[in-house]
């Protein structure tokens, strides 16, 4: 079994929350979402100094977005929010840390990142099979 197959969604959640906290993010995660409307991403994080709010859905290496999760994601992206789908591979490659650590500081940098796929305001064609770099 590969290392990716050994990281559970719960372990990824714990790691993201801990790292985000260390980096100055205020993180919310509902540990019992059974009474909530379905689809809200697993992580809602705010960084006042960076003036950022982000949403992240955490999935196992093979986990797929449900239709209600896809709808939330599409609406968040349409509203200009940072919305990510993160998997264990994104943790191991440092992608999650890079997103949490920095953001483009000028409108030109932000526009360039959108062009390069780093920050997207449109939903991916197939969010079920997209990797983190293409799902923001």
Q: Per-residue pLDDT tens, the chain, 136 aa: give them.
A: 455 558 888 899 999 999 999 999 999 877 666 666 788 899 999 999 999 999 999 999 989 999 999 999 999 999 999 999 999 999 999 999 999 998 645 455 555 555 544 443 333 333 333 334 334 3
Domain containing 34 equals 3-134
Residue 99 CB: number of other CB atoms within 10 A? 21
The CATH number given to whatever domain includes residue 9 is: 3.40.1350.10
C-alpha–C-alpha distance, residues 95 and 92, integer Å:
8
In eight-state DSSP terms, residue 37 is P
Q: Look-up: residue for tokens 């030109």?
A: 108
Total domain count for the chain? 1
Q: Kindly state the helix (H) or strand (E) to which residue 44 belongs, with its residue range.
A: strand 43-47
Residue 38 CB: number of other CB atoms within 10 A? 12
Would you state the pLDDT for residue 17? 95
Would you state the pLDDT for residue 39? 87
């Amino acid at each position: 079994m590969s290392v990716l197959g050994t990281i559970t969604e719960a372990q990824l959640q714990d790691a993201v929350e801990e790292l985000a906290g260390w980096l100055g993010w205020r993180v919310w995660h509902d540990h019992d979402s059974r009474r909530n409307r379905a689809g809200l991403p697993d992580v809602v994080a705010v960084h006042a100094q960076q003036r950022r709010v982000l949403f992240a859905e955490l999935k196992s290496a093979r986990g797929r977005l449900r239709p209600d999760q896809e709808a939330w994601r599409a609406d968040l992206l349409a509203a200009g929010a940072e919305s990510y789908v993160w998997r264990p591979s994104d943790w191991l490659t440092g992608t999650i840390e890079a997103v949490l650590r920095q953001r483009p500081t000028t409108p030109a940098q932000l526009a360039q990142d959108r062009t390069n796929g780093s920050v997207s305001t449109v939903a991916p064609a197939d969010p079920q099979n997209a990797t983190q770099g293409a799902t923001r």
